[in-house]
Amino acid sequence: MTLSQQSSIAALRRRARLVWLALAVLPWFILSVARAEETAIAGPDVTIIAGEDRTIYEYRQGGELRMIKIVPSLGNPYYLVPRDGSTGFGNLERADMLLPSWVIFEF
């Protein structure tokens, strides 16, 4: 067997190993991408607490409290937001004080 034939056989073996490696890793990669998309698509968990004079909606995402909406039986709904103005960022359970905030205009 000549040197050129040996080098071409070695190159074919390397390619075959790469193909086998790709076939072994590809299903794992596809499953991990599908799981990541499934997690990203999942929306927030909403807890509804109904009372006599109001209904409270607690929106959680990733286990953290992100938004609180209060709908009174009389009057307009409002949101509880952190005093420091970091609305939507972080866990509202760790906020030192929550203040009511009403929607002025919607379109």
Contact 64, 39 (CB under 8 A): no
Determine, yes or no, domain membership for 107. Answer: no
Q: What residue type is 11 in one-letter code?
A: A
Structural domain span for residue 34: 1-42
Q: What is the pTM of this model?
A: 0.54
Q: Across-strand partners of 42?
A: none
Cα–Cα distances in angstroms (integers) from residue 38 to residues 29, 35, 80, 83, in the given order: 14, 5, 30, 34
Measured over the CA atoms of residue 78, residue 84, residue 89 and residue 91, the dihedral's sign is negative
Model pLDDT, residue 35:
67
Asked if residue 58 and residue 76 are part of one domain, the reply reads yes
Model pLDDT, residue 50:
92
Determine, yes or no, domain membership for 51. Answer: yes
* Residue 65 host element (H or E): strand 64-72
Model pLDDT, residue 34:
65
> pLDDT tens digits, residue range 15-71?
877 777 666 766 766 777 666 665 555 667 889 999 899 999 988 877 788 788 999
Range among 5-9, 61-65, 101-105 rated most confident: 101-105
